[in-house]
Amino acid sequence: MVTEAEGGQIAIQGVSRTFGDGGAEVVALSRVELDVRPGEFVSLIGPSGCGKSTLLRLVAGLDRPTAGELRLDGEPIEGPHYSRGLVFQDPTLFPWKTIWSNVATGLEARGVLKERRGDVDKIIELVGLRDFERAYPHQLSGGMAQRAALARALVNHPKVLLLDEPLGALDAFTRMNLQDELLRIWQERGTTMIFVTHDIDEAVYLSDRVVIMTPRPARIKEIVTVDLPRPRVRNGAGFFEYRSRILESLQLVPETAQPEYIV
């Protein structure tokens, strides 16, 4: 497969996003600063409603910031582009397409499918869906559907892959499985990953850096660099250390409604 690193660099500079029409304004993001290095794996973690999805949508170009700027490799982000792939928690596969066609969507939309049909086969192989190429989405399990969604985003060889709680709806086993596959793909391709999650273990297991966000007005509270060798052990001593550090950081957040982090 592709061995050269294809990751892009993301610069988020003073980005704010406010929702609402005059009366009740919601400040979803307030002056967020973040630089993501090419090929880096960064997780965003924070209480519900703190603006993680909003930030991801801004990077994807599906939404525009109220203030500030976002750049990919120095170029301002002005709208969606296939160099920035997005995977939601809900796989959102197109129900009228087979798995193969779903995965091929990006190439088809860009008009390059004819020359690159082989890429579709390869990526389907990579995520282990060979036997389900001709199935329709409703015939897949949740885990398989999420693999297909991943493959669909990867077929374009994005420089940055944005993942919004992509494993959030899966059971623990499928989840760990897919975490490992995600790491494998990341290491193989060198794609820059921005990964939103609610799961501290997942964040520590996957990331180079974990970005912890505060509730409204959402800004970055702390960035934890996870300095553990890969492959990581989920029950190692170092692992627990990082885990409790992030827990602490989250519990210090001055709002009370985060019972989900008390393990």
Partner 1 sequence: MELTGNVKLSADTPGKSRPSPAAVVVILLPAVLLTLSLALHELLPNKQPVLRSAQYGYLLIALLIAYALWAMAAFVSAGAFRRLRSQAPIAALVILIAGVWELLTLKLNALPLPYFPSPVKIADALIDDRRKLLVCTLYSLRLLVLGYLIGAFFGLVTGILMGWYKQFQYWINPFLRFVGPIPATAWIPVVLLVFPSSFTASVFLIALGTWFPVSVMTWSGIAGVSKSFFEVARTLGAGERYLVLRVALPAAFPLIFIGLFMGLGTSFVTLVVAEMLGVKAGLGFYITWAQGWAEYYKVYAALLIMAVLFSTVISLLFKLRDRVLIWQKGLIKW
Residues of this chain that bind partner 1 (CB under 8 A):
60-62, 79-82, 84-86, 88, 90, 92, 94-98, 105-106, 108-110, 136-138, 152-153, 156
Q: Contact 99/58 with Cβ under 8 angstroms?
A: no
Under the binding rule (CB under 5 A), the answer on residue 197 touching Mg ion is no
> What DSSP character marks residue 217?
S
DSSP SS3 for 110: coil
Under the binding rule (CB under 6 A), the answer on residue 19 touching ligand ATP is yes
Looking up tokens 């493959």 gives 151
Q: Name which of partner 1, ligand ATP, Mg ion, none residue 30 binds, using a CB cut-off of 5 to 8 Å depending on partner kind.
A: none
Helix, strand, coil distribution of the chain in percent, nearest 5: 35, 20, 45
Under the binding rule (CB under 6 A), the answer on residue 80 touching ligand ATP is no
Smaller CB separation from ligand ATP, 54 or 179 = 54
CA–CA dist 112, 122 (Å, integer): 16
Smaller CB separation from Mg ion, 53 or 179 = 53
Q: In what order do the strands lie in the sheet with 160-164?
A: 84-87, 160-164, 192-196, 41-45, 209-213, 220-225
Binding to Mg ion, residues 35-54 (CB under 5 A): 53
The window from 52-60, 116-124, 125-133, 186-194 that contacts ligand ATP (CB under 6 A) reads 52-60
CA–CA dist 88, 83 (Å, integer): 16
Smaller CB separation from Mg ion, 55 or 224 = 55
Smaller CB separation from partner 1, 90 or 133 = 90
Sequence letter at residue 47? P
Positive or negative, the Cα torsion across 65, 68, 70, 75? positive
Site for ligand ATP, rule CB under 6 A:
19, 26, 28, 48-54
Could you list the residues that contact Mg ion (CB under 5 A)?
53
